[in-house]
A and B are shown apart, each in its own frame.
Chain A
């Protein structure tokens, strides 16, 4: 999604060197995807092996000076989630951004995710409702393809901040497929104000003088 496929990870003096995805070198990336010999190779690993790699990603990558480390996780409340919380605990994580789609089936799983956060002592920065409505490009009618409002209701029920709803935008999907900078290319997209506002909220949550 960040147009970094096929790049290789090198080992430096202070550890693995992450891959920079932009010319300004403001965003670096580490993923197991960089360690595969073939892109279609399946990583058929059980928990302990995944845990080991996650620990290495935190402790053995030469991240350098960072303002934000964003960790993308798979769905669930299992090995990966426990491993990354354990690995990051000594560094006082800002918290978790929890993403749901609007419908009850998704909200049903995310409720459990919120319980996980509480149990492991991970603060919830807020909840985001993704894929919240689709604006037809032909007639501009907005259809709630995955229902509506479940995210906001869950945030209220669980007592966590609701950060906003991000609508479905095929241009966003297309951008991710092409590895383009969506925010730069589509500032008029209906998804942009929502994403922007969520980013602003996180920036405003960051304690002063942290970096």
Chain B
């Protein structure tokens, strides 16, 4: 029995299916047919579309359940509090589209106009797109293989009429697979500012974050930094702190120091966060005094600072 090769040249390389390491790979015939090799015209189309989008941020995590969508949503809320900042939130978790619920937009529909699909606007300056808006029932399952998911992501990037946007935030599913490769490839010509990686403090989560970091290096995606979520819990009764997810190997702080990557911040567990998300409200507004809100705001500021340093010269200012 053969292992799938480590030295795979890549499905879209000229060597696809033909390299020495392709022998015995179950996908050899598919790759050798040249299916992956032709450049997708959508990449140029997306590059054009993205000209009106100033900053693009991917939110990644290695593991599921670490609070990535919660973070993406609140990053969008936080940035959009300045009504002069145009924010777009794109949910590419095709199988588990939570963003509509977290943003209080469940049941909304997407409309098509002459210039493409219209995102659903929560505020004048905050537009959202998710496959969730295309499903007719909350019980509908999106049982799609990779290629179909990729097609949807391409449409989201190419066919949505985002308009002039200061920040496009892309919420991803956990892992390093089709969705992640596709979004990086489709945005290849359009310049992604960087990725924010979400984790919880324990080693089992950090292990997957290191893989996520390895993915970013592989695809040459800059890393804005890491956010440690669910970092400590203050009991509402006795006010003492506990570690629900213990940082057994030093948490994200130790890992970031080790890998020389910025730790953007640590967000403590506040039961009100989950409640706000369930109600579709901004936690930053519902609980302005929470230490979690303070942490979120500081992280958002650091992301803005990172992005403003990366603004290429000569680009038009949008929205402000």
Contact = CB atoms under 8 A, between A and B. Distances in A.
Contacts of B233: 134, 143, 145
Contact of B140 (A45, A115, A176): A115
B238 A101 contact: no
Contacts of B210: 39-40
A205 interface: no
Interface string A75-108: 1111101100000000000000000010111101
Interface in B246-278: 246, 248-249, 269, 271, 274-275, 277-278
B222 interface: no
B96 to A, nearest CB: 4
Interface stretch (A23-31, A166-174, A183-191, A195-203): A166-174
Nearest to B200: A173
Contacts of B147: 47
Contacts, number: 190
B176 A105 contact: no
A39 B90 CA distance: 31
A112 B142 CA distance: 8
Interface in B198-212: 202-204, 207, 210-212
B244 A170 contact: yes
Contacts of A106: 65
Contact of B246 (A76, A104, A177): A177
A1 interface: yes
Interface string A106-120: 101101111110011
Nearest to B62: A42
Q: Interface on chain B toward A: helix, strand, loop, or mixed SS?
A: loop
A104 B278 contact: yes
B174 A74 contact: yes
B139 interface: yes
Nearest to A114: B139
A136 B242 contact: yes
A136 B237 contact: yes
Interface stretch (B3-11, B45-53, B76-84): B3-11
Interface string B185-224: 0000000000000000011100100111111001100000
Nearest to B241: A138
A129 to B, nearest CB: 14
A201 B84 CA distance: 56
Nearest to A112: B141
A47 B145 contact: yes
B278 A15 contact: no
A41 interface: yes
B145 A147 contact: no
Nearest to A99: B65
Residue of A42, A105, A113, A115 ringed by the most chain B CB atoms within 10 A: A42
